[in-house]
Amino acid sequence: MTDNTNLVKGNTGLWEVVIGLEVHAQVSSKAKLFSGSATEFGADPNTQVNFLDAGMPGMLPVINGYCVDQAIKTGLGLNGILNLVSVFDRKNYFYADLPTGYQISQFTRPIVTGGYLDIDLEDEKTKRVNLTRIHIEQDAGKSTHDLHPSLSYIDLNRAGIALMEIVSEPEMRSSQEAMAYVKKLRSILRYLGSCDGNMEQGSLRADANISLRRPGEPLGTRAEIKNVNSVRFLGQAIEYEIQRQLEILEDGGEIIQETRLFDHIKGETRSMRSKEDAHDYRYFPDPDLKPLILTQERIEKIRTTMPELPDDKKSRFINDYGLSPYDASVLVAEQETAFYYEDVVKASTSTDKRQAAKLIANWLISEVFGAMNKQSVSISSLPFKKNDLATLVDLIIDGTISGKIAKDVFIKMWETGKSPKDLVKDLGLQQISDPSIIEKTIEQILNDYPDKVADYREGKVQLFGFFVGLVMKVLQGKANPGLVNEILKKKL
Ligand code: ADP
Ligand code: MG
């Protein structure tokens, strides 16, 4: 529906899609933002709530320094400007799962201003999306309306957990770009360890702001789709919303600025409420909290703990190991996979490191990931040792076994956990690289098929494969293919 310039074709002409995302990322921290309550997911309702979280009068918030460090790390990882002074405000609204009647957030002075991330699109294209800001705020509790016919249930375990709200500029132009943005953001946050990125558990949620305009015109009125908790749903919600707005605008109608919800069962968005403006929230600085002051020293200390992030890792894999950009991006998407990959490369004893590294990448991406998917096994619980995978690849490189035999060895390795060397020995799979054995076999075959040999010599060169097949059959697939080709050519 969207063409490659990302414009949408309507009956009255072309439209440009404009998308800005607000992502709420739960900060990985054992304790909440302003209280010592635990944050673990899945605990029994209302077991991780203290007086402060429950909004009891007279309780005072105390900032959790670790959560602030996590936000600093995130700001650095997303290339933002860290503000040495930021301020906590009260955002006032009434809702049953917000016992204080206000959420502590940052409004006028967030901890991070600006920043950017490079999203990965098809055909190795990338696009830089700028960030407006990152601020710290509290999460609200959770209401459940479908457990009782006339009552709602409130669980305050989530109330007061630290969130980072990461706000993008309205720079995305298609659902694909928005999905790529969330994927990349999630990957970076996981690398940083500042948010676990588990969208199914609600620790990463996206609000999508969407509008349409004629190319070159000012921004149109947007609708906001709240709390989308999967990348796929985000794509579906945006596609639906583009169509909905397109129909209204093409009919000469107007988009109402409102908050909508995506119903993933019906595959549509529906209106939730008209959109509040900032003044509706009566923001004011929280009198219980002093401004948040960061020292340059604190920031620099955190900078020294920054991990290598996916883009840098990808370039390094391409440069150091000669990987294709595609293979490199598959391997760096999850930090754990990238670490695993490099451990195997290090364990290889092959003298040609680049050759080994490339082969290991192929093996991981096709054989290992394939088997992992089939067996629903994660990279942290593979049934064989990293060293054994390295050895398997080394055995291919030094010619002990062919790539084809290696696949059989791999299956056995997976099933038994035995080392590839033992398996090759036990199963007698060692490749035949003794030229005299191969030569004898070839001579025998050429004697058995004088007609075919004559045909070949008269120009029927496609018969070469026929002879190779016979040699392999006689030697049970174990002959060194390079040697078979070489000797066969000579003899023919
Ligand atoms: P809020 O939604 O809290 O009122 P903002 O007005 O700052 O906050 O906008 C939030 C998000 O909406 C940002 O990601 C911004 O890029 C995006 N946005 C703003 N205007 C538009 C628009 N006309 N179309 C699409 N996205 C927009
Ligand atoms: Mg918003």
The percent of residues above 90 in pLDDT, for the chain, comes to: 88
Q: Identify the pLDDT of residue 477.
A: 82
What helix, strand, coil percent values describe the chain, rounded to 5? Answer: 40, 20, 40
Q: Identify the pLDDT of residue 404.
A: 87
Q: What is the per-residue burial (b if ≥16 Cβ within 10 Å, else e) of 169-179? A: ebbbbbbbbbb
- Per-residue CA distances from 13 to 239, 246, 317, 416, 437 (Å): 18, 11, 45, 63, 73
Q: How far apart are CA 326 and CA 287, in angstroms?
A: 52
Q: What tens digit of pLDDT does each residue of 429-486 get?
A: 777 888 899 999 999 999 999 999 999 999 998 999 999 999 988 988 888 888 899 9
Q: How far apart are CA 409 and CA 419, in angstroms?
A: 9
Q: How far apart are CA 292 and CA 329, in angstroms?
A: 38
Taking the CA of residue 210 as reference, the ligand 1 atom at the shortest distance is: 25
280 lines ligand 1 (CB under 6 A): no
CA of 40 to the centre of ligand 2 (A): 27
AA identity, residue 215: P
SS3 category, 283: coil
Tokens of 346: 């290090």
- Per-residue CA distances from 316 to 111, 118, 138, 193, 311 (Å): 31, 17, 38, 21, 9
Q: Name 289's Cβ contacts closer than 8 Å, sequence gap at least 6.
A: 61, 63, 88, 104
Instruction: Please give the sequence-ordered ranges of beta strands (E in DSSP) within 170-316, or none if there are none.
Output: 204-213, 223-228, 258-263, 268-274, 284-285, 292-293
Q: Name 13's Cβ contacts closer than 8 Å, sequence gap at least 6.
A: 214
Q: Identify the pLDDT of residue 482.
A: 86
CA of 169 to the centre of ligand 1 (A): 7
Q: Are 437 and 443 in contact (CB under 8 A)?
A: no
21 lines ligand 1 (CB under 6 A): yes
For ligand 1, atom 7, which residue shows the shortest CA distance? Answer: 167
196 lines ligand 1 (CB under 6 A): no
SS3 category, 41: coil
Residues in the chain: 492
Q: What is the CA radius of gyration of the chain?
A: 30
- Parallel/antiparallel/unpaired status of strands 162-168 and 13-26: antiparallel
245 lines ligand 1 (CB under 6 A): no
The single residue listed with the structure tokens 């600085």 is 285
Ligand 1 pocket test: pick from 166, 222, 257, 260 the residue with the most ligand atoms within 8 Å of its Cβ: 222
Taking the CA of residue 22 as reference, the ligand 1 atom at the shortest distance is: 14
The closest ligand to the CA of 226 turns out to be 2
CA of 139 to the centre of ligand 1 (A): 20
Q: Name 36's Cβ contacts closer than 8 Å, sequence gap at least 6.
A: 50
Q: How far apart are CA 283 and CA 420, in angstroms?
A: 65
**Domains recognised in the chain with CATH numbers:** 4-303 (no CATH), 310-427 (no CATH), 435-491 (1.10.10.410)
Q: How far apart are CA 139 and CA 33, in angstroms?
A: 9
CA of 328 to the centre of ligand 2 (A): 35
Weakly modelled stretches of the chain, pLDDT under 50 = 1-4
The closest ligand to the CA of 171 turns out to be 1
Q: Identify the pLDDT of residue 265.
A: 92
CA of 44 to the centre of ligand 1 (A): 36
Q: Identify the pLDDT of residue 84.
A: 98
Please name which of 97, 103, 108, 104 lies closest in space to residue 63, comparing C-alpha atoms: 104
SS3 category, 421: helix
Give the containing element (helix H, strand E) for 21. strand 13-26
167 lines ligand 1 (CB under 6 A): yes
Ligand 1 pocket test: pick from 21, 22, 173 the residue with the most ligand atoms within 8 Å of its Cβ: 22
193 lines ligand 1 (CB under 6 A): no
